[in-house]
Amino acid sequence: MLRWSVVAIALLIALTTQPPVPPEYADLYALLESKLKTAESYLTARWEGTKHPVVFSTELLAANSNQGERVLTERAWESILFNLNRIQLLGVRAVKVAVKYPILMPQFPRSAEYLALYKKLGDELRRRNLKFLVQMTPGFKPSALSALPVEPYYANLTLERYKREKRQMAEIIIREIRPDYLTIENEPKTAQENTGLPFTVQNFTEIVQYILNGLERAGVLIGAGAGTWDNLAYPESLARSTSVDYIDIHIYPINFDFLIDRALQIAEIARRYNKKLFLGEAWLYKTRDAELFGPPVAAAPGLYARDVFSFWEPLDVKFVETVWKLVHYLKIDFASLFWMRYFFGYVEHTERTKTLSPAELFQLANLEAAKNMLQDPPKLTQTGLTFQRLIAKP
């Protein structure tokens, strides 16, 4: 009797400490919860439990070049090392870093300093025996997502110049930074929104193959891909018509058929053309179906800002569990979850915080995560604990 009382008390505590879902998000919460339950049921019925040797990763946000010149300071380097220490405690075997075009172009402000930073980071990751994936997609224009001064650079950009400079940047990364993996293009709609260039399937494919033609890869695996919300013609064309080593998919919205169905179809495309399959980015996008007809997925800071609130945590946990099953089921070789800060902290949804701008919410989330990371051992959210448990070596 006493044992059941203790269990009941523990359950009661768990229920009372979970923040309630605000009424304005009740419909969205129910939609996402239903989608995740359907996905989990599908995978549970089909995956027999055999684990694939997946290289699990997370985004090293402290080194993300969208921070602009802030990432070049000595304090930023100390933050990078601190973040590496903490995410290694999660059990990851790799990190992914956004080294955005055009920061390594000689004509871009402080390009030599950016190069020196990422060379040093590459050395540090090799010292720690961590794999390194560099993604060199275009920098963001929205100020809430990036501090890089890319708009003037993109003003007179042409496809021909873009192809030449992306090829040059790939050569620099392979020669100087020496990552294990290099994703040269992804999310065509996002790239089009940021650069203003027409990233049709044909143009996108031609850009990738131009970069790869005669490229000295020096043992670096090179990939390209698209989000599961993008037209499937993109991964099909990349796999069929280019010499990429892997197709890199991103999973954010789980609306419509964007989670299981699209991932299965892209996995089949990769197998058909003998390409490896990577999951370069994934997180649960908190959006209603109708909201997906607005800005491109990755260029909508107002929607990303929803992620910060703690009432989403049970769904984030379920998303991590679902993705973990999915990557083993599809035999994905590399899988990276994007928003590492939510492994360490969330922001409470209050009358004050719900009125803050995306930039202010991101700052609050970073501060909350940092506070918990500073504890020894660091304090993990249920999302972080779930990720740590799932990727732990036997």
Count of alpha carbons within 13 Å of 161, Cβ hemisphere only? 11
- With beta carbons less than 8 A apart as the criterion, state whether 229 and 297 touch: yes
Q: Please write the tens of the pLDDT for every residue from 28-41.
A: 999 999 999 999 99
> Would you say 133 and 140 are in contact if contact means Cβ atoms under 8 Å apart?
no
Q: Using one digit for the tens of pLDDT, what is the confidence trace for 136-167?
A: 999 998 677 789 999 999 999 999 999 999 99
| Residues contacting residue 254 through CB under 8 Å, at least 6 positions apart | 32, 35, 36, 39, 284, 285, 319
Q: What is the DSSP string of 299-340?
A: G-HHHHGGGGBGGGHHHHHHHHHHHHHHHHHTT-SEEEES-G
Block residue for tokens 């505590």: 13
- What is the per-residue pLDDT across 176-203, written as a single tens digit (0 to 9) for each? 999 999 999 999 999 999 999 999 999 9
Q: What is the mean pLDDT of residues 62-75?
A: 96
Tokens of 38: 């359907």
pLDDT of 294 reads 76
**377 cis-preceded (ω within 30 degrees of 0):** yes
Mean pLDDT, residues 117-145 taken together = 94
* Complete domains list, the chain, with CATH: 25-391 (3.20.20.80)
**Mean of pLDDT over the chain:** 94
| Residue 5, pLDDT above cutoff 60 | no
pLDDT of residue 293: 86
Question: What are the backbone angles phi and psi of residue 248, rounded to the nearest 5°?
Answer: -105, 115
In angstroms, rounded to a whole number, what is the distance separating the alpha carbons of residues 324 and 366?
25
Helical H segments across the chain, by residue range: 2-17, 26-46, 74-88, 111-127, 151-154, 159-172, 188-195, 201-212, 233-241, 260-272, 301-304, 313-329, 358-373, 382-391
**What would the pLDDT profile of 230-285 be if each residue is shown by its tens digit?**
999 999 999 999 999 999 999 999 999 999 999 999 999 999 999 999 999 999 99
Confidence of residue 93 (pLDDT cuts 50, 70, 90): very high
Provide the whole-model pTM. Answer: 0.93
Q: Which residues contact 147 (CB under 8 A, 6 or more apart)?
A: 66, 67, 68, 69, 70
Which has the higher per-residue pLDDT, 354 or 10? 354
203-206: long-range contacts (C-beta < 8 A, 24 or more apart)? 203/159, 204/234, 204/237, 204/238, 205/237, 205/238, 205/241, 205/242, 206/163
CA distance 102 to 166: 8
Say which DSSP state 177 is in: I
pLDDT at 6 over 70: no
Give tens-digit pLDDT for 275-316: 999 999 999 999 999 999 877 776 788 898 999 999 999 999
- C-alpha–C-alpha distance, residues 151 and 149, integer Å: 6
Helix (H) or strand (E) holding 278: strand 276-282
Q: What pLDDT score was predicted for residue 338?
A: 96
Q: What is the distance between the alpha carbons of residues 279 and 325, in angstroms, rounded to a whole number? A: 13
